[in-house]
């Protein structure tokens, strides 16, 4: 695509009208202005697509096996370990990384920081896709997707944290679809719909803040269901919700930094000058937010230990592992963010963001899988479970790339908007 975009004047598409005055059809826009043969050829040339092909070649039959034969054909799930990788990584890991939507929405729409506009749509899309695929992971774990309305409408459980999480995720997903919709309407040329959504943006953003804040915390509170199963260092019944909420702040911001970096280096042809000029200063600015959230997170983690008087646990093997998680996943990126922001080094901030993303996923996996049943045997996921997890992540990647190639996320639409 990079070469085609350099050689052609019409590609990438960023207007409803071609240079000769004719309007692009939706089908042409979907094929990025290329003929079917050209589109196929550019897809075949991309080595990433071959890797994805191999993942799907094994992953899709495994996924079919899961639905036809049941969860135990691909996982070790049991009453001891009901939450495997699908939820440990897919739900508990993906949701904090998707907090970017409400964070940047708030920054731009509520706090009026219009300097973050070039990266706002990317953050909103990151939030939407992260939540959507968290639900997909949940569905793969639960099975029987046709029964999804049951906990929502038919068999309500208003006293349960899971009920709260289900409703929050569902309503917040709808809010995020509405927040991302203006870029789709711009691309389609449906301006009436776009103006309607724009007129309710403030309401959507406020709804996003309320829903996201509550359910990020609720995901942490969910572990209070199993107070004797989760290791005491990872479980703090009083502070669990705020640990999860606070870590979601730097996780979401770090994810935007990581994704914008990937776009800058691997999808440069699709970015406009406004995005490319803004991405480095904005990376540093987002890094500052991460540093503030990280230092707060570290302190409330220590407060959590003090509140439950768990100092002795720190001297055990689990304690050293916990210290390692905090040291590598929170303290190291905090130092890097601080240095990167202080001296205006975007690449240092980017390194810190990558470590932070890994650290947050590590924390969620430690809480839901590794330190879970710490007094029992250790659950080792089957290779099929790992492969399916990677397969769904590959679908997430393809969907992300499909949208970024087309919709005005990394560039401004030049036609009527």
Rounded CA gap, 310 and 330, in Å? Answer: 20
Question: Closest approach of Cβ 40 to other proteins, in Å?
Answer: 32
- Residue 272 as a binder of other proteins (CB under 8 A): the answer is no
Three-class DSSP labels, the chain: CHHHHHHCCCCCCCCCECCCCCECCHHHHHCCCCCHHHHHHHHHHCHHHHHHHHHHHHHHHHHHHHHHHCHHHCCCCCCCCCCCHHHHHHHCCHHHHCCHHHHHHHHHHHCCCHHHHHHHHHHHHHHHHHHHHHHHHHHHHHCCHHHCHHHHHHCCCCCCHHHHHHHHHHHHHHHHHHHHHHHHHHHHCCHHHHHHHHHCHHHHHHHHHHHHHHHHHHHHHHHHHCCCCECCCCCCCCCHHHHHHHHHHHHHHHHHHHHHHHHHHHCHHHCCHHHHHHHHHHHHHHHHHHHHHHHHHHHHHHHHHHHCCCHHHHHCHHHHHHHHHHHHHHHHHHHHHHHHHHHCCHHHHHHHHHHHHHHHHHHHHHHHHHCECCCCCCCCCCHHHHHHHHHHHHHHHHHHHHHHHHCCCCCCCCCCC
- Residue 302 as a binder of other proteins (CB under 8 A): the answer is yes
Question: Closest approach of Cβ 151 to other proteins, in Å?
Answer: 37
- Residue 202 as a binder of other proteins (CB under 8 A): the answer is no
CB nearer other proteins, residue 23 or residue 268: 268
Rounded CA gap, 340 and 349, in Å? Answer: 5
CB nearer other proteins, residue 120 or residue 280: 280
Question: Closest approach of Cβ 338 to other proteins, in Å?
Answer: 6
- Residue 29 as a binder of other proteins (CB under 8 A): the answer is no
- Residue 17 as a binder of other proteins (CB under 8 A): the answer is no
- Residue 324 as a binder of other proteins (CB under 8 A): the answer is no
- Residue 288 as a binder of other proteins (CB under 8 A): the answer is yes
Question: Closest approach of Cβ 314 to other proteins, in Å?
Answer: 7
CB nearer other proteins, residue 169 or residue 259: 259
- Residue 6 as a binder of other proteins (CB under 8 A): the answer is no
Site string for other proteins, 149-188 (x = CB under 8 A): ----------------------------------------
Please choose, out of 149-157, 211-219, 288-296, 403-411, the segment that lies near other proteins by the rule CB under 8 A.
Answer: 288-296
- Residue 283 as a binder of other proteins (CB under 8 A): the answer is yes
Question: Closest approach of Cβ 175 to other proteins, in Å?
Answer: 32
CB nearer other proteins, residue 154 or residue 315: 315
- Residue 341 as a binder of other proteins (CB under 8 A): the answer is yes
- Residue 107 as a binder of other proteins (CB under 8 A): the answer is no
Site string for other proteins, 225-264 (x = CB under 8 A): ----------------------------------------
Which residues would be at the binding site for other proteins (CB under 8 A)?
A: 277, 280-281, 283-284, 288, 291-292, 295-296, 299, 302-303, 306-309, 311-312, 314-315, 320, 338, 341-347
């Amino acid at each position: 695509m990079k070469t085609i975009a350099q050689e052609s004047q019409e590609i990438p598409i960023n207007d409803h009208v071609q240079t000769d005055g004719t309007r692009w059809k939706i089908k042409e826009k979907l094929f990025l202005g290329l003929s079917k043969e050209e589109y196929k050829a550019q897809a075949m040339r991309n080595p990433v697509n071959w890797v994805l092909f191999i993942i799907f070649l094994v992953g899709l039959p495994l996924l079919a096996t899961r639905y036809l034969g049941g969860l135990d054909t691909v996982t070790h799930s049991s009453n001891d370990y009901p939450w495997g990788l699908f939820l440990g990584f897919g739900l508990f890991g993906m949701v904090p990384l998707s907090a970017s939507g409400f964070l940047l929405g708030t920054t731009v729409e509520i706090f009026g920081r219009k300097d973050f506009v070039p990266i706002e749509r990317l953050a909103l899309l990151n939030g939407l896709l992260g939540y959507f695929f968290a639900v997909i992971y949940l569905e793969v774990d639960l099975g029987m997707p046709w029964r999804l309305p049951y906990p929502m409408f038919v068999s309500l459980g208003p006293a349960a944290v899971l009920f709260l999480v289900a409703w929050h995720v569902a309503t917040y997903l709808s809010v995020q679809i509405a927040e991302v919709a203006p870029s789709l309407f711009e691309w389609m040329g449906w301006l009436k719909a776009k103006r309607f959504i724009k007129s309710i943006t403030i309401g959507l953003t406020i709804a996003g803040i309320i829903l996201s804040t509550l359910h990020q915390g609720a995901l942490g509170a969910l572990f209070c269901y199993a107070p004797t199963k989760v290791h005491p260092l990872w479980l703090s019944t009083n502070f669990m919700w705020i640990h999860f909420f606070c870590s979601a702040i730097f996780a979401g911001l770090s994810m935007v930094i990581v994704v914008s970096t990937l776009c800058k280096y691997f999808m440069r042809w699709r970015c406009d000058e406004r995005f490319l000029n803004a991405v480095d200063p904005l990376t540093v600015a987002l890094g500052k937010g991460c540093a503030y959230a990280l230092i707060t997170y570290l302190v409330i983690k220590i407060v959590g230990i003090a509140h439950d008087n768990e100092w002795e646990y720190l001297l055990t093997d689990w304690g050293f592992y916990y210290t390692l998680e905090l040291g590598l996943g929170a303290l190291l990126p905090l130092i890097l963010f601080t240095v990167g922001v202080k001296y205006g080094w975007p690449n240092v901030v980017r390194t810190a963001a990558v470590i932070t993303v890994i650290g947050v996923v590590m924390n969620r996996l430690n809480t839901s899988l590794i330190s879970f049943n710490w007094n029992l045997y250790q659950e080792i996921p089957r290779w099929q479970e790992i492969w399916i997890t990677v397969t769904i992540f590959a679908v997430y990647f393809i969907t992300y790339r499909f949208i970024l190639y087309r919709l005005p996320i990394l560039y401004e639409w030049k036609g009527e908007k």
